[in-house]
Chain A
């Protein structure tokens, strides 16, 4: 009997192929949506952590109050000592000083006259120390377009778009015009080592990265840094551990001193708090809405499939099949269709997610004028829910749809089914 029913199922493409295609489509979209949302939210937080906020950040209290202006006159001093103290107190984290600044970059011609210039966001990070992970953390080696990473003092990386705008190539000299920590003007020459695409509209428009010792020298910031960023060694932001670290650090600090260092968690920077708090919730909400919508579609498909078979059900009842047997066979069919569709849809969805995770979707075209620090290439991230989330609409919605349609059949008088059959 099972073989007989399966034969009918696979021969009737409207009962098998069509529902499977609907289920596969729904499931694959659900899986893609889940991996995409996980990727986008994760990327946004991760990108900010790597480039701007760290998992926690130590700055002076005064700097913290005007952090968006990067006021280097309020920067941290005695950084080596402070870094050592942080490493001792918080050994589970890696501590990296950085200098953030703004300035004007000038590209001179062969006789030293200005050929082109433009404003830039600048970073001083640790390129040259042995074992430094800063370049990898910011994904710079993989984002290089031309040239090489700074290998010696005086070398600098420019964002590729900015370099094109200035018409400079690796090997050219550029000049930084900026202000020192003490408010004086600084003019400092660098040699372009390479160009890089950061994957963020704000940075790609004009960014400048050099070794922190060079930048310190240019801005007259010896043993000083705008901020010291702390990263958990597993590279994942943990809001509870970060809050504990902040609490521990701040309990020992003299908060009355405006130059005393303060520690700030990622969630308290760049308006990321809500995103962190709602990361899981937003993801669940968006996915739930999508799953619900897909469930309605698949439920409807199950319902229509059931109703389309009133005639067949009538014949089967006339031949002597019991209503219960007919109903159970409809449910088993929908389980089979839902399972096949869910497995195929999940596999295709995961493969597509894998591809998008590797290659990314470039949305830089939509973010040309974005001022928020966010990635312009989004990637999917496959987490464990991606392996089962598609089964919610794929299997359950299809079965529930069929079950409801089946109840209609079950409750109808047999003779009424016959009238409809005739």
Chain B
């Protein structure tokens, strides 16, 4: 279910961070574009710039030079409010450490993004139950994160990312805290969502298990694109 519509365009992107008296260049002249429905990943060693690029695409950070256009908006020119709105409506995040809110139930964690969208209670309930159904956790709706396994928590995090039907899901090392079996289950869930909903998935990872599922692999080394390979079918 791929489309040729470009959802992310990166042009001559440079990102530097102050480091004492010097500046550290995390990303150096990145040029990339991602079409709707891609299932791709940024790979590379630690410090290669994967998370920095993911943060910029997720509007959590802005470029020092060049531009990152996400769903038609230039990230560097977005106000705090507009960036938050873009994240709320069109971008979902999945983190390495799940980052569920511990005092809320599974249902409530997944419901949270919809509350920000001011969706009606009935629609919220339907969307949340649908999302939990996609990740196979309808029976855990009332459980709290502390009562679930790591794999289940990550599935809740995925449900939270997709409940608002975002156009892009950004996943930063989503399997780093999971065993092999749970990692494959999670990746299969994401692959299924990508195929049935057409959601664009972009991973930052150096986990071979994740890499095995990717249809496009962009290798970053020292803040530069070292290779960009597309696999027709995996």
Contact = CB atoms under 8 A, between A and B. Distances in A.
B103 A320 contact: no
Nearest to B59: A414
B213 to A, nearest CB: 22
A352 B119 CA distance: 49
B80 A320 contact: no
Interface stretch (A165-173, A257-265, A311-319, A399-407): A311-319
A318 B169 CA distance: 12
A315 B60 CA distance: 11
Nearest to B97: A422
Given A11-B103, A315-B99, A320 B60 contact: no
B148 interface: no
Contact of A321 (B61, B95, B108, B116): B116
B104 interface: yes
Interface string B109-143: 00111011010000000000000000000000000
Contacts, number: 79
Contacts of A318: 58, 60, 87, 93, 95, 99
B116 A1 contact: yes
A323 B104 contact: no
A4 B60 contact: no
A4 B80 contact: no
Nearest to A15: B103
A311 B80 contact: no
B171 to A, nearest CB: 12
B151 to A, nearest CB: 19
Contacts of B195: none
A28 B152 CA distance: 46
B81 A320 contact: no
A144 B83 CA distance: 78
A10 to B, nearest CB: 9
Specify which of A312, A320, A413 lies most central, judged by the most chain B CB atoms within 10 Å of its CB.
A320
B197 interface: no
B32 interface: no
B115 A324 contact: no
Contacts of B80: 322-324
Contact of A322 (B58, B84, B104): B84
Contacts of B87: 317-320
A4 B96 CA distance: 25
Interface string A321-362: 111110000000000000000000000000000000000000
A414 to B, nearest CB: 5
Contacts of A4: 108, 111-112, 115
A320 B113 contact: yes
A363 interface: no
B136 to A, nearest CB: 22
Interface residues of A, number: 26
A12 B101 CA distance: 10
Nearest to B102: A12
Contact of B89 (A312, A320, A321, A414): A320
Interface residues of B, number: 34
Nearest to B98: A315
A418 interface: yes
B160 A319 contact: yes
Contacts of B33: none
Contacts of A414: 60-61, 83
B88 interface: yes
Given A320-B85, A415-B60, A8 B55 contact: no
A409 B118 CA distance: 24
A66 interface: no
A185 interface: no
Contacts of B101: 8, 312, 315
A319 B88 contact: yes
B96 to A, nearest CB: 6
A319 B60 contact: no
Given A1-B116, A4-B108, A415-B55, A320 B88 contact: yes
A78 interface: no
Specify which of A11, A312, A314 lies most central, judged by the most chain B CB atoms within 10 Å of its CB.
A11
A325 to B, nearest CB: 8
A314 B99 contact: yes
Interface of B: 52, 55, 58, 60-61, 80-81, 83-89, 91, 93, 95-97, 99-104, 108, 111-113, 115-116, 118, 160, 172
Interface of A: 1, 4, 7-8, 11-12, 311-312, 314-325, 413-415, 418, 421-422
In the A-B complex, the 6 residue pairs with the smallest Cβ-Cβ separation, listed nearest first, are A320-B88, A415-B61, A322-B84, A320-B87, A11-B103, A414-B60
21 contacts: A1-B115, A4-B108, A7-B104, A315-B100, A315-B101, A317-B60, A317-B84, A317-B87, A318-B60, A318-B87, A320-B84, A320-B91, A320-B113, A321-B88, A321-B116, A322-B84, A322-B85, A323-B84, A324-B80, A418-B55, A418-B60
Given A320-B113, A418-B60, 14 more contacts: A4-B115, A12-B103, A312-B101, A314-B99, A318-B95, A318-B99, A320-B85, A321-B116, A323-B80, A414-B60, A414-B83, A421-B95, A422-B96, A422-B97
